[in-house]
Amino acid sequence: MSTIIKDLFDDITANERIYFRFIKKLSYIFTELSQIELLYSERLSRLTHFLQRNEYGISNFPIDKIRNTIEIHLEKEANYHLELSNKIRNEMQNKVIAIIQKDTENKKSFEENKQKIEEAFNNSKKEYEKMQEKYFTAAEIVAKDIIR
């Protein structure tokens, strides 16, 4: 019976380790994705600022209208990717970090409970051995009295 329980316990702990590794990798992915989106947003913003400069001082209405349309579109895209970066960081990555912290706390409490159970088991085992020794010494005394 105890080997079955030990095997089940080993399976659960192995699955827990796999889950924890997956969660850590997911956290790294969200961090990288957030950084990529932030970088993309910054580059779009730079491109928008580049287009806003009129280096030649020439005002050509159709070209200005096209340039303004492109600037507006690029600004919207930059803002969208900035918001996406913040959303990934705030919602997804923070949830994963919370899961990791909760798992760490659970491991600590599990280890504490495991140590308490092991101490109780060892204490009961010592008491059993003491009682067994007392029984055998008493049995030996009784056996000697009977033999005499």
Give the tens place of pLDDT for each residue, 34-53.
889 889 888 888 887 777 76
Q: Residue 58: pLDDT above 60? A: no
| In the block, residue with structure tokens 């033999």 | 147
Helices (H), 53-93: 61-87
Q: Can you point out the beta strands (E) in 70-132? A: none
pLDDT at 116: 84
Q: Which two tokens stand for residue 93?
A: 């990555």
Q: What is the pTM of this model?
A: 0.54
Q: Kindly report the CA angle at 86 between 80 and 92, in degrees rounded to 5? A: 120
Q: Do the beta carbons of residue 25 and residue 96 sit within 8 Å?
A: no
pLDDT tens by residue, 96-126: 888 888 888 877 787 788 788 888 888 888 9
pLDDT mean over 64-72: 80
Give the model's confidence band at 54: pLDDT under 50 very low, under 70 low, under 90 confident, else very high: low
